[in-house]
């Protein structure tokens, strides 16, 4: 149960938004690639989403390692 004086919710919301925006941006770029090259399968969307997820997780781990040092 969270403590009443727990004010770190903004940091955790930021982590979630970084991952969400990374996946959405990757999916959008993948969709543009699918349309540009007229691919019949959504490989661009899949690859872009996974790349965005990886970028979001990288940022999460980077911040976690920085917090662990402190």
- Give Cα 36 to chain centroid, integer Å: 24
State residue 4's pLDDT score.
62
**Counting runs of H as helices and runs of E as strands, what totals does the chain give?**
2, 0
Domain that holds residue 51: 45-70
- Stated length of the chain: 70
Q: How does pLDDT run across 45-65, given as a tens digit for each residue?
A: 999 999 999 999 999 999 989
Domain membership of residue 57 (yes or no) is yes
pTM for this predicted structure:
0.81
Domain membership of residue 50 (yes or no) is yes
Q: Is the pLDDT of residue 13 over 70?
A: yes
Q: How does pLDDT run across 17-27, given as a tens digit for each residue?
A: 999 999 999 99
| Domain count of the fold of the chain | 1
Does an H or E element contain 46, and which? helix 43-69
State residue 2's pLDDT score.
59
* Distance of alpha carbon 6 from alpha carbon 62, whole angstroms: 22
* Distance of alpha carbon 38 from alpha carbon 52, whole angstroms: 22
């Amino acid at each position: 149960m969270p403590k009443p004086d727990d004010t770190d919710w903004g940091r955790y919301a930021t982590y979630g938004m970084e991952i969400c925006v990374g996946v959405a941006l990757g999916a959008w770029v993948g969709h543009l690639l699918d349309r540009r090259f007229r691919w019949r399968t959504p490989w661009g969307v899949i690859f872009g989403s996974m790349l965005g997820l990886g970028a979001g997780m990288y940022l999460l781990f980077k911040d976690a390692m920085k917090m662990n040092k402190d």
